[in-house]
Amino acid sequence: MNILIVLAHPEPQSMNAAMFTTAIETLRAAGHEVKTSNLYAMRFNPVSDQGNFTKLQNTTFYKQQLEELHATATGSFAADIESEQQKVEWCDLMIWQFPLWWFSVPGILKGWVDRVFAMGRFYGEGRLYEQGVFKNKKALLSLTTGGREEAYLKGGLQGDIHNMLKPIHRGMLRFTGFHVLRPQIIYGPARQSPAMRDRELDQWRNRLVEVFNEAPVEIGTY
């Protein structure tokens, strides 16, 4: 199968980078094709504006979604967007590896979505959710937190983490048709002992070997 792994972490020695490398190695060893988007290493530009396109339909008033429809019809997405769109279209499973920042994805990953998930190309004209463009694909969020697990339970200090992930799971992934797998969450890796972090990496390895046998989850109910 084809897997795209997107990493949004600036430090190559971080736990997120270790999860990213582990996933690449494990999935390739299992015989899968893997492509990656290491957003900081690529210096991916997260600013969504007129630069998303090689030519504009309307040069006097910028309306992004209309320009996206035009670029879809005329093949005029900027090269950095086009190549990311092709990777998403190519994959059967997309994994996002990121640290939770302000209860959400880091800005560089949000900017990647803002620019790459274009109207016309990835959604629109009734092609949403069950009829979404990516209805034959799966997606998996793999993330780390600073806080402890008990803080992210229902009624915990920070609140239920699954509610935090809902806008990503539903608004970005299900919206465009992806079937969502259970998120992989490491709570507070910086607080863990090296042995605990090794165990987290082992659990990730074991999960990935069987990942194509997993059933998607109903968002918010797992």
- Footprint on this chain of ligand FAD (rule: CB under 6 A): 9, 11, 13-16, 18, 99-103, 144-147, 189-190, 194, 197-198, 201
CB of 181 to ligand FAD, least distance (A): 20
CA-to-CA distance for 209 and 217, rounded, in angstroms?
18
Shortest distance, position 153 Cβ to ligand FAD, whole Å: 13
CA distance 76 to 67: 9
> Distance (Å, rounded) from C-alpha 63 to C-alpha 57?
10
In DSSP notation, 117-146 reads S-BTTTBBTTB-GGG-TTTT-EEEEEEE-S
Distance CA 177, CA 123 (A): 9
Among candidates 209, 172, 203, which has minimal Cα distance to 185?
203
Q: What count of other Cβ atoms lies within 10 Å of the Cβ of residue 88?
A: 23
Give the residue closest to ligand FAD by C-beta.
Answer: 146
User: Which of 124/146 has CB closer to ligand FAD?
Assistant: 146
The distance of closest approach from Cβ of residue 184 to ligand FAD in the complex, given in angstroms and rounded to an integer, is 13
* Closest distance of CB 59 from ligand FAD, Å: 36
Question: Which of 181, 99, 172, 100 lies closest to 139 in space, CA to CA?
Answer: 181
Given the complex with ligand FAD, which of 196 and 209 has the nearer CB atom? 196
With respect to ligand FAD, which residue has the nearer C-beta, 9 or 138? 9
- Shortest separation between residue 46's beta carbon and ligand FAD, angstroms: 14
CB nearer to ligand FAD: pick between 108 and 116: 108
CB of 67 to ligand FAD, least distance (A): 30
Q: Which of 144, 143, 119 lies closest to 133, judged by CA?
A: 119
Contact 99, 144 (CB under 8 A): yes
Q: Which is nearer to ligand FAD, 148 or 182 (CB)?
A: 148
- Euclidean distance between CA atoms 194 and 64, whole angstroms: 46
Question: Smaller CB distance to ligand FAD: residue 100 or 139?
Answer: 100
